[in-house]
Amino acid sequence: MTIKMNWGYKIALLYIGFVILILSLVYAASHQHFDLVSKDYYGDEIAYQKVINAGENQAALSKPLGIHANGTEVTIDFPDEFRNKQLSGDVHFYSPVNAEWDRTFKISAQNNSFTISRSTLRNTHYTIKISCSINGKNYYQESEIALHS
């Protein structure tokens, strides 16, 4: 026994299927989680000129900050211009995957390097934003790092 449908029913079924597909996509999109880069995006944008100036100061150094990772730690090596000087600032690990994975550390350099334990970080891709100050002069560098086990 075969079921016969005329073309009107076939068009109606196609239309209903299309409506169900669109509604399911709208439902899925409405439950998607988006993390913004910053909670105060516009305020940060106004203050961005300071970051540009600090980046220019960083570019004038003899070499960029060195960033190395192994299985247990991430090490940031500072250039020779920073040796034996009072260094203050922070290192921000920004994860584009999830805002809860972001971490910020205050710099406490010893022997011209700063070490961070990998146990405090996730195995993911990070943008490392280093901003520091020596004698009132600001420096800023962004670097990419992929931490995998």
* Range with the poorest average pLDDT among 37-41, 74-78, 91-95, 96-100: 37-41
Domains detected in the chain: 50-146 (2.60.40.10)
Q: What is the pLDDT of residue 1?
A: 65
pLDDT more than 70, % of the chain: 97
Helical segments of the chain, H only: 7-30, 41-46, 48-59
Q: Provide the mean pLDDT of the chain.
A: 89
Residue 109 confidence (pLDDT) above 90 = no
Cβ atoms of 91 and 107 closer than 8 Å: yes
pLDDT digits (tens, 9 = 90+) for 10-29: 999 999 999 999 999 999 99
Task: Tell me what pLDDT residue 106 has.
Answer: 95
Once rounded to an integer, what is the mean pLDDT over residues 102-117? 89
Q: What pLDDT is stored for residue 36 in this prediction? A: 64
Tell which residue, 82, 68, 65, 147, has the closest CA to residue 115: 68
Task: Convert the pLDDT of each residue in 31-52 to its tens digit.
Answer: 887 766 677 778 878 888 888 8
Residues 104, 47: Cα–Cα separation, whole Å: 19
| DSSP assigned state of 65 | P
Using the predicted structure, report yes or no on whether residue 82 has a pLDDT greater than 90.
no
CA dihedral (45, 46, 48, 50) in degrees, to 10, reads: -160
Residues contacting residue 122 through CB under 8 Å, at least 6 positions apart? 95, 101, 147
Q: Which of 104, 77, 106 is nearest to 92 (CA)?
A: 104
- DSSP code for 79: P
DSSP track, 111-146: TTEEEEEGGGS-SSEEEEEEEEEETTEEEEEEEEEE
Rounded to 10 degrees, the C-alpha dihedral 9/12/18/23 comes to: -130
Structure tokens at 65: 């900050």
